Structure 1
């Protein structure tokens, strides 16, 4: 079967080649047909076509000549210590202990160095960047200069300068560097608007350390979440970018920077026409803070949220699966002080619609600590507006302690869900609110939707539960109202979240 498929593929390729060849032959025939060198039909078509259709694309040469001097190669050096063992050390790998090699490695270390000293290996990395001011400020990626011992930049004319790192932001993978002692650099501007899907773009960088290289393409998509961080909002481009392009700019046809090349999708390690850029408006905001403070401070609301799925939307009576569902407003946070409660759905921030939990995170993080924000929420189907004063995002947000898991038994079961529960107050360490899942059927509906023994069900359908009877009553009431799913507020050992449980 595989051979037949291969033959079919070759046959198809042959037909394609043959078709192209026949077109070429027809073209040759046309070329000699008419007295003026064209077939009369072709002459009529050329005469009727607008001039713009008979000319080739203008190209990007003028644009490249304008912006390329602002693009730089960024070369960094850093030290890496080898994982060597000192002579006589007792921390040899178990695989070496008791073998003929043990004496050798105790004397020389695993790298064969007399004295067994830690060896320092100098590593050189190459990326790209671009000047944003005449006095030497330049943008690149955080991962290009992270842990750099020294930074050098090379301009388009081959001049090498020493640069220093002004500040970095790992969460958006951006960094600001500066060349001191010189001014008059050619620089480019950051665009304030995100380009449209389908717009032409030109990427400039230093792939594989080859030197300034230019590629062109279009905006393929926007708002991409590639799982790189909590604030992913990448522009996707199809202009080829490769390793070494990191930190380089992508330009629109006006010569303004619309994005910073940051990541590629590459099964092979090279470009497959799927690259990701940090949008210029984000770059502008981050760079301004790095220039002033060297770090980035973000607004903080203090909530745990999750996306609104179709099941959750139906259980809440929402027409669309949009917004961010609040799992928990952490104690002593802006959210708790503003009155935000579990089960609230945040639909807008300062009038900007919230599509999902990531949109909420980006909106809040883009605001300054101490600023006020108006949150549009849905609470039990009713629209409300709350005003919250944001705090500064902690460096390490600690999780609130959760109820310990328990496997105590209960004689009362919950029909149709495949689990048994007990009042939380009867289970040590579970607290006094809700009911604890004490046993669960592996193939039951509850298990299929992620519930586990030890989980605490706090509320069902917006109503607090404290016993198996409360749970059954809440399920029966939701079913009598014609609902196919009911929303359960569940506390686990890790967090608090909502589960849309089918009951139809």
Structure 2
């Protein structure tokens, strides 16, 4: 009774205030509440957003003449059954696992980006090819020269001896909006000049192709043979290079990926001048900063690139970058994800001094390394007894790292524990620890025996995760394990 009486006393002024709020906010937000306030409805007095479809017919007429059919030939003795190139390469990363076969003939797509005969396509379309033939939309055929290739971004530049060709202008992929209409043009399954429509489903996709992943995702139908064809926006500009699909059936399921055209703008000039791409090198291995890792390192933000190891003698080592640092800005550009840092470093000219902002033990720090040149050796390294026993609480078995084992694993460590076994369903398994991993630190302290590991874990408060520095296949990563 007291609550009801109190409500009645305050009901008139509350109702008056509510009416004022509705009058003030309703027109601004354009929504009204449903009866019972269970859902929201648009205010019919206000205009609703409208969607205008592009004139696909005129758009296709403008860009389709610049799309080409690319046929490759690989000569030499074949010791395996033949298989179309588009199946072998196009589904290599995302399709069902299948036996590798070397084909003699492959097919893909490309588009003319310069009236003097420069053609953009995928690296995997022309990789290992002895001969590349290009067929234009008007039926003319040319033997193309492979000017340069960049496997790291799956981009290749071709050149044909022709002039006055139709072209597709390049757009700005950084301006793409999710939901924006796009078309894909190519030669899926050999069906030339096939056009499909869709939207930009997402941007900045990381799909496990490498450190420079930054794919545009689209639901425009992409199939084998579309590789190298353009993804075109409503202005008739190429904003992506169709490169891969996710499929479990061998065909399109509405999840396709295109290399953003701005990445091609970085790569193509170097391919034209040198046939290959030179990239900058900082000299760190990095990993994403998860919520558990952020908590362990005492930071509230989850963006940034966590440094798991630093290469001896590298630009990062020379200025004092350390394992456990969190890089949040590079040369004035914000670093939200690890791929941001990889791309920014790669695009930095060799010899340029840059400013990096990082967080170390919760405190900001500024360092100024000079970027070096990335080599294949450095990229490969970045990619990729009695004191032993089981630690039953964590569910793993370890043994001390010996000099012989360290050499076999390619590690320069003089301490650590080699993981021999991981129990299914254990905290170690849930954390992602695998047999063959080497644990060198626990909560930033070096470990040499299972007793070191046990003592370090027991020091942690109940339910608080333990931070491990783990070395795997030449790279180092931080993992958190809940004890």
- TM-score, structure 1 normalization: 0.71
Pick one of 60, 69, 81 that aligns with 2:77.
81
Pick one of 56, 59, 65 that aligns with 2:61.
65
* Secondary structure of 1:129 counterpart: strand
Corresponding residue number in structure 1 for 2:444: 462
Instruction: Please state how far the C-alpha of 1:159 moved relative to its aligned partner.
Output: 1.5
* Secondary structure of 1:156 counterpart: coil
Within-5 A mapping of 1:163-242: 163-180=144-161, 182-194=162-174, 195-242=176-223
CA gap of 1:65–1:436, structure 2 versus 1, over 3 A, is closer
Instruction: Please state how far the C-alpha of 1:220 moved relative to its aligned partner.
Output: 0.8
- Distance in 1, Cα, partners of 2:397 & 2:118: 63
Corresponding residue number in structure 2 for 1:408: 386
**Aligned residues of 1:433 and 1:458 also touching (Cα < 8 A):** no
Pick one of 258, 261, 270 that aligns with 2:242.
261
Deviations 1:234-263 (A, max 9, x none): 101111222221111111111111001111
- Distance in 1, Cα, partners of 2:420 & 2:137: 68
- Distance in 2, Cα, partners of 1:383 & 1:469: 35
Instruction: Please state how far the C-alpha of 1:372 moved relative to its aligned partner.
Output: 2.6
Deviations 1:102-128 (A, max 9, x none): xxxxxxxxxxxxxxxxxxx98322211
**Aligned residues of 2:397 and 2:422 also touching (Cα < 8 A):** no
- Distance in 2, Cα, partners of 1:124 & 1:415: 56
* Secondary structure of 1:372 counterpart: coil
* Secondary structure of 2:316 counterpart: helix
CA gap of 1:492–1:166, structure 2 versus 1, over 3 A, is closer
CA gap of 1:298–1:465, structure 2 versus 1, over 3 A, is same
CA gap of 1:447–1:143, structure 2 versus 1, over 3 A, is closer
Instruction: Please state how far the C-alpha of 1:315 moved relative to its aligned partner.
Output: 0.9
- Distance in 1, Cα, partners of 2:419 & 2:261: 52
Deviations 1:82-106 (A, max 9, x none): 229xxxxxxxxxxxxxxxxxxxxxx
**Aligned residues of 2:417 and 2:449 also touching (Cα < 8 A):** no
Deviations 1:254-276 (A, max 9, x none): 11110011112233222222211
Pick one of 437, 444, 469 that aligns with 1:489.
469
CA gap of 1:198–1:409, structure 2 versus 1, over 3 A, is same
Within-5 A mapping of 1:296-315: 296-315=277-296
CA gap of 1:344–1:62, structure 2 versus 1, over 3 A, is same
CA gap of 1:56–1:348, structure 2 versus 1, over 3 A, is closer
Corresponding residue number in structure 1 for 2:3: none
- Distance in 1, Cα, partners of 2:422 & 2:52: 68
Corresponding residue number in structure 2 for 1:387: 368
- Distance in 2, Cα, partners of 1:282 & 1:460: 39
**Aligned residues of 1:130 and 1:138 also touching (Cα < 8 A):** yes
- TM-score, structure 2 normalization: 0.74
Corresponding residue number in structure 2 for 1:155: 136
Instruction: Please state how far the C-alpha of 1:285 moved relative to its aligned partner.
Output: 0.9
- Distance in 2, Cα, partners of 1:435 & 1:57: 61
- Distance in 2, Cα, partners of 1:378 & 1:266: 40
- Distance in 2, Cα, partners of 1:146 & 1:263: 15
* Secondary structure of 2:202 counterpart: strand
> What is the number of residues matched between the two proteins?
407
Q: Give unpaired runs (5+ residues) of structure 2.
A: 1-44, 81-101
- Distance in 2, Cα, partners of 1:58 & 1:420: 61
- Distance in 2, Cα, partners of 1:439 & 1:484: 25
Instruction: Please state how far the C-alpha of 1:451 moved relative to its aligned partner.
Output: 5.3
Corresponding residue number in structure 2 for 1:327: 308
Q: Give unpaired runs (5+ residues) of structure 1.
A: 1-47, 85-120, 401-406
Instruction: Please state how far the C-alpha of 1:213 moved relative to its aligned partner.
Output: 2.1
CA gap of 1:422–1:226, structure 2 versus 1, over 3 A, is closer
